[in-house]
Chain A
């Protein structure tokens, strides 16, 4: 049994149809017959932020186990069923607030896709030997990631920016914790979070809602609800000092830096203005920091962005420094640019350009089923509202230059930033060799 919860119009004849089953399972369907295929995604409200102290990496390791064995399918058979039926793009990712599983199938395989996903959502078998083998693969994946100076930098930035909230933890986990996880812990994680009332299924492409609902009713309806152990949100104390850390990485052929400031989550009324501020500052070729840092040859891969988790968020800046440039010079330009933007020195035409880019991003998202699914899924995870991301579009167009001024003055201020530098040797950044730098503000 299900109810039709909402219809979310997108563009033309495209819309998202939202349904809720009696066991709490939510389903979103987008009928788009352009190509005779569909994407099938399962979103769980469970990520690394749901782990407890000492259990870092369990959500991600568990994600790997979902590709192994069920009561009905031996190891490898699940993937073979997908593959032999023309399924492609089988993959998953674990983030701080969510874990997402996805694949794409030809249009006549809807029932099969639904059966296969339902099977592992309810009938997973975690065998000890398999679990230990998968730890080896995860440790290899972790080392591969840390081989990359950029990945290393972001992990360290989050550890420094968050002092209490679970967002400080590495998603893939630490070697020690990965090695010690038991099958029982993984099983408990599965039973706690992988239930119908903690998940959303998104089917987008050449499908009909009626057929999707029938398939889901057939394969998921009998799954019982579980009592979700909701995360205890630890309040992150207000940051009252600049924090900075200089690190070395043997592969850092170029010096890189990232900086962040705390902001609220996606539901916060300032979020739309912060999002637009990110675009005005560095999101486009003509953005202020692109003109001042990239187009002058001082830095490359310059970007500003907002990370918003379910609980909290950060506004982030990243740059790779050119040979001969000092980090202090880059930071001066950053500060000057923030000051200019906060004073309202934002080109009116740049504002038009930013709005153009948002309209275009939306068209791009709705014409690619996997991108559209992400738009819907993010609304489910971060706002508990499938229409939220679409509704933000209107809010983005209402943002004014005065709103941008206000959020820069409120959030992107000296004395509340966290900065991490990575280079091959510390001298190249600061001319000193100590490892941790904390600004005088502390």
Chain B
């Protein structure tokens, strides 16, 4: 993380179309900088960024951008505050000037804030009707020890956010220690540099600073958390256990194992969906490591009647897959799979993300030869060692969405010593 440098430009040229796509990232200025009683402040600040300056009303500002053929938006992640811009290259100079004006002069009008808070309140209520989103967030909520960092947002905190909070928060965002630009454009780099200078020449850097991300909760036993939903025709499950750090050399082995185990044509999909028709999806995937260690996740969506078959079978498969001949055959094919996939690393967006990840997390950018050598270094021995090290189902955090009593009975019938917690989805926006 310490390697991220202020005012860096990550650039790829694309001459096919006269459009410039820009992302301005104020690193370290995201949700992690909120206090619990202000949960949602970062997101609201981002949503309000284009709602008015001392010169322009929200409507006038939106119109100015759209007349220039520019789409603009601001959003936050756990760590960052980002502004995304896509515009006709012919108007880039005016668009940069307008962005500069907004950053310098945004005034977060009170009446706009009232409306945006109402919209946010509606969004929070609305998102609870999407089972996939509820499952994803419930898992995050559990992994963050059921704190505000794992919620969609907080209705109670939202009501307390004031215009003054936004002004103070954005003051620190715009003067964060690291601002970087990523851009895909038909322009030459020196022209982009000249425009970027407008934003950086007199920028203060005494605001938010980069900090490591909060570690995920580590489970020391099998634990079950159920988000109760009495009317679901389908259950959903998302189970996780420990993964690796970003710079761990075993990540290549892990990638191959997860692909053989949990891709669209992986071992789990074949066993649970193709052979039994118990679910629509069955996947294993990586929660990517950042400054914190990653996780390995497993997802499926059995019908309410097939859960009783799928849950014990999936657990059994996770405990035994590494000695299963079918899995080992699939794994053996991954050497070719991953080498053939090298071409995708030459995509313009991929190249930019790789360059940022190198500076941010120290993940090296490999030449084709180096990459092939890493893939060749994945051997039956390295797989055996890795599965022994991290594929540990005794320490599984198991999150479910569905009818609580029914799922609890299935879990109890497998092992009645597994602790089961049940909570309502409304907790995710409380």
Chain A residues in the interface with B (C-beta under 8 A): 11-12, 14, 32, 34-37, 75-76, 79-80, 82-86, 88, 90, 106-107, 109, 132-137, 139-141, 143-144, 146-149, 250-254, 284-286, 291, 294-297, 300-301, 320, 322-323, 349, 352-353, 356-357, 359-360, 363-364, 366-367
B85 within 8 A of A: no
Nearest Cβ on chain B to A237's Cβ, whole angstroms: 35
B264 within 8 A of A: yes
Q: List 6 A-B contacts (CB under 8 A).
A: A35-B346, A37-B347, A86-B341, A294-B119, A356-B68, A356-B69
Q: Give bound CA distance, A367 to B66, whole Å.
A: 21
Number of contact residues on B: which range applies? 35 or more
B277 within 8 A of A: yes
User: Which residues from A are CB-within-8-Å of B230?
Assistant: 250
Closest 9 CB pairs of A and B: A86-B340, A136-B277, A79-B265, A143-B233, A250-B231, A106-B343, A363-B17, A297-B115, A133-B277
User: Which residues from A are CB-within-8-Å of B302?
Assistant: 140
Interface residues of B in 1-34 (CB under 8 A from A): 14-19
A143 touches B303 (CB 8 A): yes
Chain B residues in the interface with A (C-beta under 8 A): 14-19, 58-59, 62-63, 66-69, 71, 86, 88, 114-116, 118-119, 121-123, 125-126, 128-131, 229-234, 259, 263-265, 270, 273-280, 301-303, 306, 330, 333-334, 336-337, 339-344, 346-348
Partner of B330, one of A80, A106, A300, A364: A80
Q: Give bound CA distance, A146 to B71, whole Å.
A: 33
Given contacts A35-B348, A140-B280, A300-B126, contact A356 B67 (CB under 8 A): yes
- Other A-B pairs, 11, CB within 8 Å; known A37-B344, A356-B68, A357-B69: A82-B265, A83-B265, A84-B333, A86-B343, A90-B264, A106-B344, A143-B303, A253-B128, A285-B62, A286-B63, A296-B115
B123 touches A79 (CB 8 A): no
A146 touches B66 (CB 8 A): no
User: Which residues from A are CB-within-8-Å of B17?
Assistant: 11-12, 363-364, 366-367
Partner of B71, one of A14, A320, A360: A360
A286 touches B66 (CB 8 A): yes
User: Which residues from A are CB-within-8-Å of B303?
Assistant: 136, 139-140, 143
Q: Give bound CA distance, A338 to B18, whole Å.
A: 35
Nearest B residue to A12, CB-CB: B16
Q: Give bound CA distance, A363 to B301, whole Å.
A: 38
Nearest A residue to B128, CB-CB: A253
Nearest B residue to A360, CB-CB: B69
Q: Give bound CA distance, A266 to B252, whole Å.
A: 49
Given contacts A32-B16, A76-B270, A147-B131, contact A133 B276 (CB under 8 A): yes
A140 touches B234 (CB 8 A): yes
Partner of A35, one of B19, B301, B343: B343
User: Which residues from A are CB-within-8-Å of B18?
Assistant: 363
User: Which residues from B are CB-within-8-Å of A323?
Assistant: 118, 121-122, 125
B19 touches A34 (CB 8 A): no
A254 touches B129 (CB 8 A): yes
A367 touches B14 (CB 8 A): yes
Q: Give bound CA distance, A107 to B336, whole Å.
A: 15
Partner of A11, one of B16, B66, B116, B339: B16
User: Which residues from A are CB-within-8-Å of B277?
Assistant: 132-137, 140
Given contacts A83-B265, A140-B279, contact A148 B119 (CB under 8 A): no
B275 touches A133 (CB 8 A): yes
Q: Give bound CA distance, A294 to B112, whole Å.
A: 12
Q: Give bound CA distance, A366 to B129, whole Å.
A: 35
A300 touches B122 (CB 8 A): yes
B347 touches A35 (CB 8 A): yes
Q: Give bound CA distance, A301 to B123, whole Å.
A: 9
Nearest Cβ on chain B to A306's Cβ, whole angstroms: 21
Nearest B residue to A324, CB-CB: B118
User: Which residues from B are CB-within-8-Å of A252?
Assistant: 129
Q: Give bound CA distance, A357 to B63, whole Å.
A: 12
Partner of B340, one of A109, A294, A295, A363: A109
User: Which residues from B are CB-within-8-Å of A34?
Assistant: 14, 16, 348
User: Which residues from A are CB-within-8-Å of B263?
Assistant: 83
Nearest Cβ on chain A to B84's Cβ, whole angstroms: 14
